[in-house]
Structure 1
């Protein structure tokens, strides 16, 4: 009889409170692959095999720094994505990793 491995879950939330990019969607990348888009005040969930994953949020050519996380069997890892800084910090849109922040909760 084969052994079954319980999946883990990566859960990403984008809060409603921020005005910047309110009408735009962010890509969530898992191990460099665009895996889903998240809009204003939405949750995304990704069932995954237990292991280590690199996550990044992206919009156009910019986004967040990579967050490395470990997912155990049956574990839910929660993250929040939102703009970094404020609307007056326009220079952030010219960086590859400074426009968004992705935070493990």
Structure 2
């Protein structure tokens, strides 16, 4: 196997590992994860309620857009159930708009 054929798998693995970390935080805080999409290199990640003003959200991180793309390929709109590192995660993936940008929302179920 050459490195270019391993790369997509590595990105997908890193993406779901990243998602599991943030889902744990989301569960602890009782909030949704909000990934605000951008044309730049990174996507801003927030904890909050997508129905509340974004000023009320807590900034968590900026993650590379390539990981967000991998998450979108790994999950689907609506209810999802993934086993990540032996832990089962149940969540809903929806979309929202933040100002002039799109956002992907992961809400624990």
Q: TM-score range by the shorter chain?
A: under 0.3
Higher helix proportion (structure 1 or 2): 2
Larger radius of gyration: 1
Higher strand proportion (structure 1 or 2): 1
TM-score (norm 2): 0.23
Q: Pick 1 or 2: higher relative contact order, CA cutoff 8 A, min separation 6.
A: 1
TM-score (norm 1): 0.23
